[in-house]
Amino acid sequence: MKAYLSKVKIDVKKVVLDSGAVVAGVGSRDRLAMAPPSADMDYCLKGAQSCIIWAYAVPFEVLKNYFGKVERVSMKKFSYYAYTTGWATAERIARYIEDNSAFKALPVAPNGVYRGAGGKNVSVNHVLDTERAVPPFSLRYGAVAAGLGHLGWSGNIVTEKYGGSLFLAGVLTTAPFEPDPMATVNHCNKCKLCTQVCTTGFFSQIESEPPVIIGGVPQVYSRRNAQLRCAIGCAGFTGLSRDGRWSTWTPGHVCLARLPERRMTGRYAKYRIMLPKFFSPLVPAVQRRFNKNIRDGFRLAGEIANFGLLPLDKISPRCGLCSLVCVADPRQRRELFELLRSSGKVYLDGQGREVVRKVDASGRTTEYVPPQEQH
Ligand code: SF4
Ligand code: SF4
C-alpha cells in the first residue's frame, strides 16, 4: 500500500505542476490537529488524512502593471486563470484518486465560500455580515502543513522562491499519503509592506494574533481589525491611502484606515458604513453605478460560492495588495510599493470609464485611460 500511495502522490504532483503550479506539497491531518477550526479537514471530508496544496505565482510584469496602474486587465486574466485552473485541476485530482483507489477525495473551492451556522456553507456575502468569516478549509494552513512555507506577517503563505504573491488550490483526501517535509526557514522578513499597502487598516503593524500551531511550529501573524474593512476594500468599493495620494483600482476615495474600529464593528456596521458612503444620493450617479456593479458581482459570486467557477467578466481585481506585494525578492517588493505610491488615483469619467490621474513631484498632472475591462 505504501508503494502504491507513493506512486499516486507522484502522479498527482505531476498533474498539478503540469497545470502551471510553481510549488506543490502534501500535508497530514496530524500537523493540523492544533490549528484553528478552519484547519479541521473533517468539516469538509469525514476521515480526511491528507491535504494536497499547490500554488500559481503571479508574473512580476503583471504585478508591475497592476501596482503602477498601467493596466489591470492582465491581473484580471491571471486571477481567472489561477482560480479556474486551480479548481479544474483539483477536480481532476480528486477524480483520479477516487477512480484509482478506495479512498475519497474532495476538491477545495479556492475562494468565495465560508462556514455558516449549523455546519452549512454560506456565500461570500457572509464576509460583509460577520465579524470573522472562515472558509470550509483554510488553504493557507494546509499550505504550511504541506511544506510550502510559513505564514507571513500578512497571514498569507510565504514561500522561499515565490514569496506570497500566489493563488492557492487544494484537495482533501482520506488517502494517508506520506507528508512532505515542513519548510524549515520562515521567509517573511517582517518588512511589513503588506500592512503599508493596505488602505483599509485591516492589519496591525505591531500586535500579533495568538500563534497558530502547525506541525508543532508556531505561526505568528498580525492582529486583524474588523473583517469588514477588507471585505469593502478588496471588493473595490473604496481604497485610498492614508496620505490621500494614491488609491487602489477604485474611484472610491474614502480612507477606511482613518475610521476608528468601533465604527467598523457591531451588527449594523455594514449598513452604517456602506449606505451613506457608497449608495447615498449624495454619491455621484456614475460612482453609484460602479458600486452597484460591485455589489451585483458580490451577489453572483455568492450564488456560485466558488471563485473557481466564476466567469471572466465577474473577476475584477481591485486590491489584494497585501498578498500580491509579497514577491520573494525584498527589492522587488519595495519596487512594487514605490510604483503604488506614485501610481495616482483612479477616477471615473462621464461614460463610467476608469481614468488614472497622477501628480508627480513637481506638481505636474498626467491623466490617461488605461485599457478597460471588455465586459
Ligand atoms: S510583505 Fe513582508 S512582512 Fe508582509 S508577509 Fe511579506 S515578507 Fe512578511
Ligand atoms: S485585500 Fe486589500 S483591503 Fe484586504 S487586507 Fe489585503 S490590502 Fe487590505
Cβ pair 359, 344 in contact under 8 A: yes
Residues within 6 Å of ligand 2 by CB? 197-198, 200, 202, 230, 233-234, 319-322
Q: Is residue 351 part of a domain?
A: no
Q: Is residue 316 part of a domain?
A: yes
Q: What is the pLDDT of residue 210?
A: 96
Q: Is residue 278 part of a domain?
A: yes
Dist. CA 142 → ligand 2 center (Å): 21
Domains in the chain, number: 1
Task: Pick the residue whose CA is nearest to atom 1 on ligand 2.
Answer: 320
SS3 350: coil
Q: Which range (75-84, 215-224, 233-242, 301-310) has the least confidence?
A: 301-310
Tell me which residue range forms the domain holding 194: 2-343
Q: What is the pLDDT of residue 335?
A: 98
pLDDT digits (tens, 9 = 90+) for 118-165: 777 777 666 666 667 889 999 999 999 999 999 999 999 999 999 999
Q: Is residue 115 part of a domain?
A: yes
* CB proximity list for 65: less than 8 A, separation 6 or greater: 71, 72, 74, 75
Task: Pick the residue whose CA is nearest to atom 6 on ligand 1.
Answer: 326
Q: Is residue 361 part of a domain?
A: no
pLDDT digits (tens, 9 = 90+) for 255-309: 999 999 999 888 788 888 888 889 999 999 999 999 999 998 888 888 888 999 9
Q: What is the pLDDT of residue 131?
A: 65
Classify the phi-psi angles of 266: left when phi > 0, otherwise alpha if psi is within -120 to 50, otherwise beta: left
Q: How many CA atoms lie within 13 A of 168 on its CB side?
A: 28
Ligand 1 site-directed mutation target among 140, 150, 160, 190, most atoms within 8 Å of CB: 190
Q: What is the pLDDT of residue 273?
A: 87
Q: Is residue 366 part of a domain?
A: no
Mean pLDDT of 216-228: 95
Kindly report the pTM of this predicted structure: 0.95
Q: What is the pLDDT of residue 84?
A: 98
Q: Is residue 374 part of a domain?
A: no
Instruction: Determine the atom of ligand 1 nearest the C-alpha atom of 221.
Output: 5
Q: Is residue 369 part of a domain?
A: no
Instruction: Determine the atom of ligand 2 nearest the C-alpha atom of 233.
Output: 3
Q: Mean pLDDT over all residues of the chain?
A: 94
Report which of residues 324 and 134 the model is more confident about: 324
Strands (E), 109-247: 113-115, 121-123, 150-151, 157-158, 166-173, 203-208, 212-214, 217-219, 222-224
Find, among 234, 348, 344, the residue nearest to 283 by Cα. 348
